[in-house]
Amino acid sequence: MGQRFLVAHGRRRLPLPSRPGVIMALCNITLRASRTAAADDSSPPPPPRRRRSISGNRKGYLLMSTVGNSTNIFWHECPVGKHERQKLLDQKGCVVWITGLSGSGKSTLACSINRELHSRGKLSYVLDGDNLRHGLNKNLGFKAEDRAENIRRVGEVAKLFADAGLVCIASLISPYRRDRDACRAMLPDGSFIEVFMNMPLALCEARDAKGLYKLARAGKIKGFTGIDDPYEPPLKCEIELSQRDGICPTPDAMAGKVVSYLDEKGFLETK
* Catalytic positions, written as ranges: 174
SS (H, E, C) the chain: CCCCCEEEECCEEEECCCCCCCEECCCCEECCCCHHHHHCCCCCCCCCCCCCCCCCCCCCCEEEEEECCEEEECCCCCCCCHHHHHHHHCCCCEEEEEEECCCCCHHHHHHHHHHHHHHCCCCEEEEEHHHHCCCCCCCCCCCHHHHHHHHHHHHHHHHHHHHCCCEEEEECCCCCHHHHHHHHHCCCCCCEEEEEEECCHHHHHHHCCCCHHHHHHCCCCCCCECCCECCCCCCCCCEEEECECCECCCHHHHHHHHHHHHHHCCCCCCC
β-bridge mates for residue 97, sequence order: 170, 194
Integer Cα distance of 254 and 116 in angstroms: 11
The four Cα atoms 98, 103, 105, 110 give a dihedral, to 10 degrees, of: 50
- Strands 6-9, 12-15: pairing kind: antiparallel
